Amino acid sequence: MPVPYGSGIMHKENQFEEMSDNFDKFSKLRQDYDQGSLSKKSVLPNPFDQFEKWYEEASRSTIKEPNAMVLSTSGGNGRASSRMVLLKGFDEKGFLFYSNYRSRKGQEMAVNPYVSALFFWDVLEQQIRIEGTVERLSAEESDAYFKLRPRKSQIGAVASAQSEVLASREQLEEKFDQIAADYPEEQQEIPRPEHWGGYRISPYYFEFWQGRRSRLHDRICFNQRPDGIWSVARLSP
């Protein structure tokens, strides 16, 4: 049973000793950044083109999953929540990902379409922040993507009531096996559950961040004006 923080069970002196050890450990973690630079002149005028340029570079690097991004949402109570999702495509209209519409994030996005996405590519010392509004893809678009998924991922999507409490791991595995048994033939198509599908984030804000020496990082941001034109600015690091 974990001891609740602040319960007074731990001896105070030990507690401070442990905390200062902790500070020491973290304060020694220092990294200077010198891989690249970014300016209002060097950045491409359209943020989608700049995203594509950096994404291509990230894809050619050693990063295992450059398409992994942190998606932050908040529902009606205004409390933020974040988790990783995989970017599955992008074009001039937005950034696509797939999930369960009934999940925690799905419920939050149904109430509040304002979301943010964050990419962090540590070997390139870069982050990209995107803010925008989210909408569901059409059933046809979600079907088309679902069909492309490996069969076991399709079964997993059907089997998992994402974000709901599970009694046990076994319960999930039994559900998986039962669905696999319902569709024994490889060529038998597994239908996409109605509550599973795609989203598109339509951004109104981008920030491209490049780590620099002495914490003097480059931050170039794009804000979309009401006439659709992107205005560019440099932010203090």
| Contact yes or no for 127/209 (Cβ under 8 A) | yes
Q: Which of 30, 169, 213, 215 is catalytic?
A: 215
When asked if residue 224 is in the footprint of ligand FMN (CB under 6 A), the reply is no
Largest CA distance in the chain: 66
When asked if residue 80 is in the footprint of ligand FMN (CB under 6 A), the reply is no
When asked if residue 164 is in the footprint of ligand FMN (CB under 6 A), the reply is no
When asked if residue 112 is in the footprint of ligand FMN (CB under 6 A), the reply is no
Residue whose CB is less far from ligand FMN, 81 or 171: 81
Residue whose CB is less far from ligand FMN, 103 or 127: 103
When asked if residue 86 is in the footprint of ligand FMN (CB under 6 A), the reply is yes
Q: Pick one of 50, 99, 127, 154: the residue that binds ligand FMN (CB under 6 A).
A: 99
Q: How far is the CB of 193 from ligand FMN (least distance, A)?
A: 13
- Which neighbouring-strand residues pair with 219? 209
| Contact yes or no for 85/97 (Cβ under 8 A) | yes
Q: Pick one of 54, 90, 105, 132: the residue that binds ligand FMN (CB under 6 A).
A: 105
When asked if residue 68 is in the footprint of ligand FMN (CB under 6 A), the reply is yes
Separation CA 116–CA 98 (nearest Å): 15
Residue among 182, 22, 205 nearest 131 (CA): 205
The position carrying tokens 């009531």 is: 161
Q: Pick one of 65, 174, 182, 189: the residue that binds ligand FMN (CB under 6 A).
A: 65
When asked if residue 122 is in the footprint of ligand FMN (CB under 6 A), the reply is no
Residue whose CB is less far from ligand FMN, 145 or 204: 145
Residue 215 designated active-site: yes
Q: Pick one of 163, 202, 223, 224: the residue that binds ligand FMN (CB under 6 A).
A: 163
Q: How far is CA 200 from the centre of its chain?
A: 13
157 contact partners, CB below 8 Å, separation of at least 6: 100, 146, 149, 192, 193, 196
Separation CA 27–CA 29 (nearest Å): 5
The position carrying tokens 């401070």 is: 16
Q: Pick one of 51, 54, 90, 97: the residue that binds ligand FMN (CB under 6 A).
A: 97
**Subset of residues 20 to 49 that bind ligand FMN, contact rule: CB under 6 A:** none
Which tokens is 120 given? Answer: 């962090």
Residue among 170, 202, 177 nearest 92 (CA): 202
| Residues taking part in catalysis | 215
Q: Tell me which residues touch ligand FMN (CB under 6 A).
A: 65, 68, 81, 83-86, 97-100, 103-105, 162-163
